[in-house]
Structure 1
């Protein structure tokens, strides 16, 4: 089964309506849609904004079917909301920081190995 690492940083997810590009380059991921721009950033440690924990798996490439579905199924069954940013090599699955322990339990119960930051 896949090993997932918990990303040491926490993240925030924001929406910028009718914006072509953020004014800064402090973002991790950008997704442009007709209704605006979704921006994933590393969370400011002094801000009490909603924070998200990231799980990132081993590289698997684009030709391996079912990897993301395998991660999302146990999280959905546990009632945990997610935000996903996919890369060429793997998927960054974000869960609300307050649900991190529940997400770890759900993923471990599904057979995933979780590596916590040291």
Structure 2
């Protein structure tokens, strides 16, 4: 199986928060949680009123097994080479790769240049969709 993937831009925008003294968030409005010695990291959909940095996500349409090497590296490698920061939340089947909203065009182009297909399913955002 090739590491080239068909990636969809997730319709939502996200926020990544660090809660240093928490072990669980006070609400259930989260997408992903990571508990570590330095606190809790929470990924949630961005509130329209929040002033936090907004992130957008790429998610593959074909799940892959946990034993298939190189799938995440095939996505984050080109983004690193393009100087695009990432935050990753992995699922059992695929990886949600978040990039800062203002770097979306750079990220999509870097992924295309690396051989990935990128589709933008967000309403009124066709500028970054496959050509």
Place the TM-score, normalised by the shorter chain, in its bin: over 0.9
Tell me the distance in 1 between the aligned counterparts of 2:109 and 2:85: 15
Q: TM-score, normalised by structure 1?
A: 0.96
Structure 2 gaps, min length 5: 124-131
1:24 to 16, 24, 27: 27
Query: Which structure has greater strand proportion?
Result: 1
Tell me the distance in 1 between the aligned counterparts of 2:47 and 2:103: 19
Structure 1 gaps, min length 5: none
RMSD: 0.9
Q: 2:79 aligns to what SS in structure 1?
A: helix
Q: Number of aligned pairs?
A: 118
- Report runs of 4+ in structure 1 exceeding 4 Å deviation: none
Structure 1 residues 47 and 18: CA distance shift in structure 2, 3 A: closer
Tell me the distance in 1 between the aligned counterparts of 2:116 and 2:57: 15
Q: TM-score, normalised by structure 2?
A: 0.87
2:115 to 97, 111, 116: 111
